[in-house]
Amino acid sequence: MPKYSPKMKPILRGWFDAFQKDFFPEPTKGKNEEDFIFENFCNYYVINSYQGLANNSPGDYATSEGVDDKSCDFHIDGIGVFVNGILCSTIDELEATVEKSSKIEVSVHFLQAKNGKDNLDAGDLNSFLEGVSQFISDVPWNDNFVTESNINEHVVEAQSVFAESLSKKYTNKPKAYLHWCVSQREHGEEFRSDIAASVSNRIDLLPNEHAEFTSGVEFKFHGAADLASVADSFGHQNECTFGLGGNPIVNFPAISDELEDSFFAFVPGDEFLKIICPDGETIDHKVFNENVRDFLGENSSPFKGMMDTLGRPEEREYFSFRNNGVTVVAGDITGNSRKKTLHNYQIVNGCQTSNALFENRDNLDDVFVPVRCIKTKDSDVLDSITLSTNSQNNVTTSDMASRTKSARELERVCRRDDVASPIAFERREGQFIRIPINIPKNRILKKKDFTSAYVSCVLRKPHHGIGYWDRYQNGKKDDIWLSGAPTSLLYLSGYLMNSIIRNKLFGDFSALKFHFGTVAFQELWPEFPAIFDRYNSAEKFEEKLRLEAIINDHVEKVLKLVDQKNILEKKLEGARKAAKKLTEDTSILNSKTGKLGRANTKTEAVTQKFFSLLK
């Protein structure tokens, strides 16, 4: 009798099962589906972990829609292009990220996952390396190449973003990371002894092969034990330890246990670098997530002034007298009078100072940085500190307060448990990694998820919900978080879209999922446009309150309908028929792939065509 050989090492199975329960709760229909979930597992844990503990969903990296997706993924299962620490999946996201940046750092991750193979196929590995080689270029692929190769839109769009990022002013050469993941070998590095000499030599020569477009290429094998270790460490809070150089510290008054251990100190410049670049090489952009204002660039007056001071040896010692310093908020602070450790920390003010110090990292002798370290886990305290310490910024106090108020109200609403499938709002990046909650990860929504849902459902612009959501949360006139609209509409939009996506009610038309959201919202609440127009045009406060109450009451009725899957499916029958007709219209299909994909569903023309077919 042949011996049963499981596809996955036992050390990994528990982590994989937990991931599947969170993101793919439906029972697998065969080995191919488990292979697809394994790809997503590796994408989620490996790319997120190696990119400074990012927290993007596995679908953000996947190059395939599922086991039935037959398009060419270029032998790459996962791709992530990061610009200044932010994942950029579209050109619009790239433009929004670099809009105010005068320094651009790019990193790109490629991943291939093999579930069940305990031997290395040199052909598979060579195909992966060749796919990466074709990808790394400063020129986007042309239409003929994409069509002939049948490359899917996820890979095409990622390559376009990467190529476009290289053309941006101030872009440093990117770093590239290649990950090869397997489930049936204990340690990935065991493969080193298995691969042919020619393949091994090619891996060793990767940095030279891509030297024109990258500053370095790192190739890493991940076995079952390695993946389990990555999954185990994922989500652990960030941490840094720095010395005080013998300088005295000033402890803030302990007005509560919550704020105990907070202090002020003049930190030596070289020690301060340990706070902003734990790896000693690059700035960890994640520590600035709570900072309202990003790095304003080398031409901003504050930055130029600091660079001038730090650039002159005779002036450096005066840096601490001329600088307002940096404010850090940490979940916990430990250590003694000589050395401090910050746990789960964020820099809420001091982004310009941090960048100036990093640029002068080799010349920080006699430089001391005024640093306030405040210990708190209270989100209200964190909000007030962020608001007050950034009051001098170009972002107005009222704008900051409004954005905080809307987000906090939504966070509170999302705590309700009287719906069939409660959702959670990740208001702060990674907050549910560090403090887990009892809600599956596929029901945890980020700000961009609510924005895309609201734009699609309430504003009826699904083409903007797909790739242009940043326009509606950037602090400008179209920012929905500043609009004053009822928070219940944000909640309903997010809840509805999450239900459609989790249950795959869009069928085979995933590129149109936000269009399905628009249709569902209209079908479930046909009177909404009229009441919303009246709400927006109401001038008297009392009238606005009255209309908001009507809206809130109706939201509750619609939520009950959303929870009835059969009703929701019935409401989307017309959308499925319209989508099928749309895929048969060659005039609107993607010119590169010949299919209906994100590249064309995010255009207004496709939206108009879709709704004309719906009628």
Residue-wise pLDDT for 406-448, tens only, equals: 888 999 999 999 999 999 998 877 677 656 688 988 999 999 9
Q: What is the mean pLDDT of residues 165-173?
A: 82
Whether residue 576 is found in the same domain as residue 431: yes
Strand order, beta sheet including 216-222: 86-87, 78-83, 106-114, 175-182, 216-222
Q: Is residue 5 part of a domain?
A: no
d(CA 430, CA 428): 6
- Phi–psi pair at 455, nearest 5 degrees: -60, -40
- pLDDT above 70 for 566: yes
Amino acid (1-letter code) at residue 443: R
The domain in which residue 76 lies consists of 10-234
The identity of residue 155, as a single letter, is V
Backbone angles phi, psi at 263, to 5 degrees: -155, 165
* Predicted pLDDT of residue 31: 60
User: Do 105 and 207 sit in the same domain of this protein?
Assistant: yes
Rg (CA), the chain: 26
Residue at which a domain ends, from 371, 394, 417: 394
Phi, psi of 112 (to 5 degrees): -125, 130
Q: Cα–Cα distance between 369 and 265 in angstroms, integer?
A: 8
Does 260 lie in the same domain as 219? no
Show the tokens assigned to 37: 């979930």
Residue 264, strand partner residues: 250, 372
d(CA 583, CA 601): 11
> Bridge-partner residues for 328, per DSSP?
347, 373
d(CA 593, CA 150) in angstroms, rounded, equals 6
Residue 285, classed as helix, strand or coil, is helix
Quick one: tokens of 170?
């101030």
**Rounded to the nearest 5°, which phi and psi values hold at 217?**
-130, 130
Confidence of residue 239 (pLDDT cuts 50, 70, 90): confident
The arithmetic mean of pLDDT across residues 119-147, rounded, is: 87
Residue 597 has pLDDT above 90, yes or no: no
Q: Tell whether 601 and 466 lie within a shared domain.
A: yes
Contact 316, 368 (CB under 8 A): no
Residues 140 and 255 in one domain: no
- Note the pLDDT of residue 2: 42
**How many domains would you assign to the chain?**
3
- Which percentage of the chain shows pLDDT scores above 90? 46
The structure tokens listed for 184 are 């049936």
* The pair of three-digit structure tokens given for residue 575, joined into one six-digit string: 């959308």
Does residue 605 share a domain with residue 558? yes
Lowest mean pLDDT among 63-67, 182-186, 240-244, 545-549: 63-67
Evaluate whether residue 1 is within a structural domain: no
64, 133 Cβ separation under 8 angstroms: no
